Amino acid sequence: MNYKLPEDIPLTFAEAQARVDRWIAQFEEGYFPSFVQLARLSEELGELARAVSYAEGAKKLKASDKFEEVANVEEELGDLLLVLICFANGHHIALDQLMHKTLLKIDARDKTRWTPVKTENKDDARSETT
């Protein structure tokens, strides 16, 4: 199967989950068991942490490290997202719906937790009070 997409086409979680599901369906093994998927999530999160650490200069490269292999934050985040999608698919969780529910939850829970950004534009301030 060819999964190449034009870079300018947004991909919803539902579309991404369907594409991953079609790709996994090509193989007899199917989705890994939950604990294997959790281990893979941990591995990918560690790789992302390492890439961020190197990219932001918190950690110095060892002589044996190649910067291109350890500092690609975008690639590591993509790998983490792929494994997360596999985990969600394996548990029949719709990420679009889950994200919507989570955003509603944090909006209700945290709306007074943080300091709002003050706007200097009087039109913005007026529209907030109406």
Give the whole-angstrom CA distance, residue 51 versus residue 56: 8
pLDDT at 110 over 80: yes
What is the residue type of 104? L
In a domain, 42, yes or no: yes
Radius of gyration of the chain (CA): 20
pLDDT in tens, 81-105: 999 999 999 999 999 999 999 999 9
pLDDT value for 50: 87
Q: What is the pTM of this model?
A: 0.75
Q: Could you tell me the sign of the dihedral formed by the alpha carbons of 6, 12, 13, 18, in that order? A: negative
CATH number reported for the structural domain that contains residue 44 in this entry: 1.10.287.1080
In a domain, 108, yes or no: no
In a domain, 44, yes or no: yes
In a domain, 7, yes or no: no
pLDDT in tens, 28-58: 999 999 999 999 999 999 999 988 888 887 6
In a domain, 124, yes or no: no
Query: Which residue range forms the structural domain that includes residue 81?
Result: 13-101
pLDDT at 72 over 90: no
pLDDT value for 8: 67
In a domain, 119, yes or no: no
Query: In the predicted model, what is the mean pLDDT of the chain?
Result: 85
Give the whole-angstrom CA distance, residue 93 versus residue 116: 33
pLDDT value for 119: 86
**Quick check: 84 and 16 in contact, CB under 8 A?**
no
User: What is the DSSP track for 19-43?
Assistant: HHHHHHTTSTT-SPPHHHHHHHHHH
